[in-house]
Amino acid sequence: MGGIVKDLQSKAELDNLRSTGAPVILHFWATWCEASKHMDQVFSHLSTDFPSAQFLRVEAEEQPEVSEEYSVSAVPYFVFFNDGKKVDTLEGADASSLAHKIAKVAGSANFGEAAAPASLGMAAGSSILETIKELGKENGSSQAVNQAQPGTGDALVKRLQQLVNSNPIMLFMKGTPETPRCGFSQNVVRILKDENVKFGSFDILSDDEVREGLKKFSNWPTFPQLYCKGELLGGCDIAISMHESGELKEVFREHGIDTDGSEKTEISEGGNGQTGVTESTGLGTTLNSRLESLINSNPVMLFMKGKPEEPKCGFSGKVVEILREEKVNFKSFDILSDEEVRQGLKVYSNWSSYPQLYIKGELLGGSDIVLEMQKSGELKRVLIEKGIIEKETLEDRLKTLVASSPVMLFMKGSPDAPKCGFSSKVVNALREEGVNFGHFDILSDEEVRQGLKAYSNWPTFPQLYHKGELIGGCDIILEMKSSGELKSTLSE
């Protein structure tokens, strides 16, 4: 009964469909996410080419039970089933990869093997690649086209140069000026509006190739990135500092930028075709004051569905989990308990979904932004800079590493590829005794390598620890093994 995308109504419905053994593809999406809308078009087109498969759409925030079961923390997100089992997943707006994965599960290609564009065409029908390309063009992204074509290195550099120089002031951001997808991008948009300059923008969430390529092109690992006449000025912190000191206005004037222009912005590739920056919120004074008070009631404030101990959606639960992993003290507000706050905050923050995380009164973003920042290490950096958490000392780091496994080996190389004979001998001794152990390659981190010598008062490697206590190096380990003491000691 393929050829149509159905809205999943319940987990029970999914379980019933899986039990048939037929291929099933789930698309977790959100109405507020432009990338989801783009991928939903691709998803619908693909459904007509694979009539033997079930194509299901799931509004992630409205189906928390299903979202949580499949660990959905960002959209768009796809889960693939065959013979009743989950066989693959895909996160992000990657149309070409989606087509390949569906072809593997439901088409003629064998699952687990790479599907070349030629075999994809046979499995999906002759028109599907062109359809994907056209959809990419319509949505301001050439990601699908580039991924379907080899040898894009030089082409990517040329494209990045064109983008950077496409406007005298060019902002690479998360989201669009009308709907920023992170607080830092929102702050730079606000600054440019205050400077009264026209600028172009590119939504780096809409094109992963540009997003990753620009990091290397500019040697700047985070976003937003602000350019003036093709030269990188910096990110959010630098833009704020230059704006507050008046230096930003001077730079614009030196480069012949009109600072008396319209407040509207010029949207470049990656935008949604709309222009202008959101005007004042228009909220009543009482509600506006209440929202400001709530946002600033704690240095870290999370507006979520439910409570930290009982989240009512997977996205809220994920942010709670991340904050706990980062050991952050935070306060929360259940937006399901107060409709006025729930609707008002969307307008106040110009952010249409929940959860929303604020640090020192500034919006950081939602679950996908927070998750991405944690993965990149940017979240910890921001928390340290804002004085929320203290920078981890080397001693604290060493304590954490030493205690990361009941039996912990600091060695040269890895257990499967030791880079010194002494490390190899200790690995063999532990394996012969059937001991499970964690390990750390001290050649990969000079700070740990030198710091551990002083921490343990032991000048050489390998070093073996048990429950945080140093056992010794190679000679001691081999002696303990020979006497039968090693296994009994590490088993205590």
The span from the CA of 241 to the CA of 250, in Å, is: 13
> How does residue 402 score in pLDDT terms, banded at 50, 70 and 90?
very high
**Is the confidence at residue 297, as pLDDT, over 90?**
yes
C-alpha–C-alpha distance, residues 277 and 238, integer Å: 21
Question: Which of 57, 48, 113, 53 is CA-nearest to residue 83?
Answer: 53
Instruction: Quote the DSSP letter at residue 5.
Output: E
Strand-pairing partners, residue 408, are: 438, 465
The dihedral sign for the CA sequence 396, 400, 401, 403: positive
Whole-angstrom Cα distance, residue 415 to residue 402?
17
For residue 240, the SS3 value is: helix
Best mean pLDDT range from 10-19, 104-113, 406-415 = 406-415
- Answer for the pair 343, 290: CB distance below 8 angstroms, yes or no: no
Q: Does the model's pTM come out above 0.85? A: no
Peptide bond into 462 cis (omega under 30): yes
Q: Comparing 129-143, 169-183, 208-222, which segment has the lowest mean pLDDT? A: 129-143
| Cβ neighbours of residue 263 closer than 8 Å, sequence gap 6 or more | 193, 196, 276, 277
Q: Are β-strands 407-411 and 463-466 bridged in parallel, bridged antiparallel, or unpaired?
A: antiparallel
The number of angstroms, rounded, from the C-alpha of 277 to the middle of its chain's C-alpha atoms is 26
Average pLDDT over residues 367-376: 83
Tokens of 429: 């001794």
- Look at residue 476 in the predicted model and tell me its pLDDT: 94
Radius of gyration of the chain (CA): 27
The amino acid sitting at 92 is G
Confidence of residue 430 (pLDDT cuts 50, 70, 90): very high
Per the CB < 8 A criterion, the answer to whether 277 and 185 are in contact is no
